[in-house]
Every structure is written in C-alpha cells, then in structure tokens.
Amino acid sequence: MNGVIIQFFHWYHPGNLWNEFTAKAEELKNLGFTAVWFPPAVKCAGGTDGRGYDVYDLYDLGEFDQRGSSATRYGTKKEYLKAVKKAHDSGLQVYADIVLNHRLGADECEAITVQQVNVENRNEKISEPFEGEAYTKLTFPGRNGKYSEFIWDHQCFSGIDLIKKDNEDKKGIFKIHNGYGTEWNNAVSHEFGNYDYLMGADVEFRNPYVVQELKNWIKWYIETTKIDGLRLDALKHISSDFLKDYIAYIRSDIDRGFFFVGEFWKDKVESLSEFSEKINHSLSLFDVPLHYNFFRASKEKKAYDLTQIFENTLFQQDPVRTVSFVGNHDTQRLQSLESTVEDWFRPIAYAIILLSENSYPCVFYPDLYGAEYCDKDENGKEVVITMPKVGILTELMEARKKFAVGEQVNYFDHPNCIAWVRKGKYDNGGCVVIISNNDEGYKDIEFGKENAGKKYIDFLQVRSDMITLDENGAGRFWVDPLSVSVWVRN
C-alpha cells in the first residue's frame, strides 16, 4: 500500500476538529491520504483548553459534564464517532492518539507517603520518606460509574509532582510509596537515571488492577469507535514489559491486524532500535533522527551534506516499521521540543519522504492548510507565529500516487545536489527526483538505449524546459537553486 498519514491537528488548533474533519474527509482522500491521525479524544483536566494530553477520564469522549463542559476541545462524542465513520466511508483508516502514562485533574486528596528525588537523577533520594496529601484519587463523579466503576487512587500511581505537607505545597518529583515498591519501574528509558516519571500522577504499570483496567478500556474504546490503529504517546516513560503485553493483547483478543505507531523521542537511532528490540519490534516508530536531519539541513543550508540525509535514521535501518515526518505538534514553534524545519527546506523534506521507496510518510496539518497562532516565548513575551502551507505539497502528493513506484536508484554523489530514480512499473514510467540546497544543479542519468528519445517535463512546474534522452537513453536533469524538481515522462 502506498499509504500516507495526515496528522489532522496541531497544538494551537482552535477546536471543533471533528466537524472540520468530517467536512474535509473526501478532499483528503482525493489528495491521496490513506489514514488520519487524530489527537486524543478523551476529557482533559483542562476541559476545553486541554489538547488531549492532560488526561483526566479515558471513558469520557465528550459525553459527560466534567472539567467544566461536556464536549472536549475538539467536539462531542457524537461528533467524534461521526468523524471516524466519515473517514471509513471515504476510504481512510483512523489512528487514535492515546496517552497511558499519566493522569491529571484528580477529584480528591489522599494521605500518602512519598520520598523526594533529584530531578536530574531520579534514582537519587533527596529526602527521607514523609507523609503528606496529594490529589491522587479520580472518581469521575460526572460519569458516575458508566462504562467502568474503576477508581484510581495512589496505589495506581508511582509518582507525583505536588504534595501538601504541614499546609504547605511542595513542588518537585516525589516517588510514591505504594504496594509495588519504593523504586521506579526500571523497564523505561534511563534518561535522568530513570525516566518513569513525566508529569502529573504517573501511572504504576506494575499494578495488575491498573493493567486490567487499561485492557478493559482499550477493548471498549476500539469496539465503540471502530478505529484502525493507535499512536502511542510518551513511550520513553512507559514500561516496555507492559507495552509488549498490551500490544499482544490487542492483536490477539481484539484485532489481529491493528496498527501501532509509537512516539519514542530520541534523536539517536541506536536508542530507538534498542527500544524496538525490547518490545519485539511489535510497532512502528516515528523517525525522530530523520526529522532532526531535516532540521539541521534547513539550518545549515549549503553547509549540510545532502548525501548524509538518511544517515543514522530508522528509515535507513528499518523502513518497514518506520513513519517519517517533517514536523509535528511537539516540534512547532514555542513548544518544548521546538525544532521547526525552515520554510525553504520543507518542500524538499516532503519530496524526500513522499517520493522515496518503502516510506510511510506523515503530513502535518499546518503544512497542508497553514496555521497562525499566538503564545508566550521563554521570556514571557507574546509572539505571533505564522506557519505557511507548503505550496507544492498537493503536487508532491499527486506525484506519489502517479509516479513514485518501482525500484529506487540513488544518485547521492554530491553534497549539495542529490537525486533518485523511481523506475516505475508496467506502463508507469516512474520519475526522477532531484534536489539542491545550494546553486542550480544537475544529474546525468542513463535509462538504456530502449528509452532513447523519451521526453521528460518537471511535474512540479518549477522548471519549464523539456529534457529529451539521447540515442543512448541518457539525459541531464536539472534543479533550481534551493529547490526540488520531479521529472516525469511527457
């Protein structure tokens, strides 16, 4: 399948997303998209201000009057289910974003015992155990037991970032002493010594009742919504033992063909490969190292060696289990992982992921539709950000459908100008993709004498000239400065 995902949201999307998607689903299918990645649909601690990642109630998809409203930022449960059905009616798969790592917005305080740890080394205790009160009990009074009567309390959590002692709020990272030990789960990333804790009330995956509740919920969620796959958030912080079991459960008991893609945010391919091995290569991963290659290439301009664009990436090592992307909601300006690929390079980056063999690309909402938003920078100053859409993105999507087929042959022989040929299949003549991060460039490419006299034009219409292959089936293919061209048979 020559699939393409659309990430149909960004961090600052104003809302009413489900209805917007329903109106655009047919258009997206016609553009060549085969799947849509939706943001978390659950009720957030921040109510309609929440983006889906400050999880409050997994069972509330915009149905119950909780956290200040019935609807979520993106709409109601009815609108969400309608959007999923519209996707399916339009021939699109739906990948739902889910956040299993933490909970926020607890309903009640509990008396608990904790021990403060060093933020820079979470294995180092910097206090003796002490008792205090923390918001660690979630009862979901607005839902009143519908779908599940499970109550989350401090035994369900491994850590917290705020606790009250002697009527004074203490902030930091505190290891909760629960029935599953006084140490963090070790089956996680070892950044900061141990990266079990991320935010809020951190879920304790060693608690078998928690694991069973999460299995009960995902079965209910998949059967209720009819989604086709999951985007799993914050995998550095989640037990790999739990993940292996969870994915196996879904595929064995719910849907054998279910798709999974995970966010394991590391820029070193060795770290991603090691994680993939721990979970038996059971899911695809976003190619974070390739994203950073794009980011560096856009910053360094002609100083960047384009022949290294795939070096040390998942795409190079394991393309079948890789989702490639140029940017996402975490990398956009004013976000914590800000690493926005500069505007001039984004068309080139999209040409790379859309027209390369074995690629499963993901297109970011603002790159298709544009976006404008306002937020505070690190100095507290209000900043207005404009993200222009990538002007040739729809043409690149069409080129993927029509020409990006067949074996790929790379011409990665110059640091500022590279090209590749997709040989095509049957009556499809394929294409020649050529990019430059400096001056005008060219590549001499031979197709064999049987192709003598064949003519090529730039499908993107960046260049207006026509290339005619000589008597040996060879031609010189050109590209403008800081640009991309896609040459196809006329």
- Render each residue's pLDDT in the chain as its tens digit; 490 residues: 589 999 999 999 999 999 999 999 999 999 999 999 999 999 999 999 999 999 999 999 999 999 999 999 999 999 999 999 999 999 999 999 999 999 999 999 999 999 999 999 999 999 999 999 999 999 999 999 999 999 999 999 999 999 999 999 999 999 999 999 999 999 999 999 999 999 999 999 999 999 999 999 999 999 999 999 999 999 999 999 999 999 999 999 999 999 999 999 999 999 999 999 999 999 999 999 999 999 999 999 999 999 999 999 999 999 999 999 999 999 999 999 999 999 999 999 999 999 999 999 999 999 999 999 999 998 999 999 999 999 999 999 999 999 999 999 999 999 999 999 999 988 888 999 999 999 999 999 999 999 999 999 999 999 999 999 999 999 999 999 999 999 999 9
Q: Is the pTM of this model over 0.85?
A: yes
Q: Give me the catalytic one of 161, 233, 398, 458.
A: 233
Q: Which domains does the chain have, with CATH numbers?
A: 5-102+208-399 (3.20.20.80), 103-203 (2.40.30.140), 406-489 (2.60.40.1180)
CA 252 to chain centre: 25
The reply to whether 123 sits in an annotated binding site is: no
263 is catalytic: yes
d(CA 470, CA 50): 60
Question: Contacts for 222-226 with beta carbons within 8 Å, 24 or more apart?
Answer: 222/250, 222/254, 222/255, 222/258, 223/254, 224/61, 224/81, 225/41, 225/61, 225/80, 225/81, 225/84, 225/94, 225/96, 226/84, 226/85, 226/88, 226/94
196 annotated binding-site participant: yes
13 marked as binding residue = no
Catalytic site residue 274?
Answer: no
Per the annotation, does 458 bind a ligand?
no
Considering 213, 263, 330, 338, which one is annotated as catalytic?
263
